[in-house]
Amino acid sequence: MTLSINCKDAGDPTCSHTISGETEQELFDNAKKHALEEHGITAAEFEEDVKKNEEKYRSLIKKT
Ligand SMILES: [Zn+2]
């Protein structure tokens, strides 16, 4: 099973990159890497955002 989440669905106005992973942890790590590299946010900001919007992000995960 592959878990994926789209940046645009997660609220980014321009980036339509799809992040995927085999597990929730892998998806989280890949999303973090993408956010840091492409969106210029810090790891602390990313983790805080995920903590605050966990339910929303979880509901956006597609399983294929
Ligand atoms: Zn993005």
Where are the domains positioned within the chain?
3-63
Whole-angstrom distance, CA of residue 24 vs CA of residue 20: 9
Residue 18: per-residue pLDDT = 98
Q: Is 20 exposed, middle or buried (0-12, 13-18, 19+ CB in 10 A)?
A: middle
For the full predicted model, state whether its pTM sits above 0.85. yes
What spacing in Å lies between the alpha carbon of 26 and ligand 1's midpoint? 16
Residue range 54-60: average pLDDT?
Answer: 96
pLDDT of residue 7: 97
Q: 20: part of which helix (H) or strand (E)? A: strand 18-21
**CA 41–ligand 1 middle distance (angstroms):** 11
- Ligand 1 centroid to residue 35 C-alpha, Å: 6
Average pLDDT over residues 13-33: 97
Question: How much distance in Å is there from the Cα of 1 to the middle of ligand 1?
Answer: 22
What pLDDT is stored for residue 51 in this prediction? 97
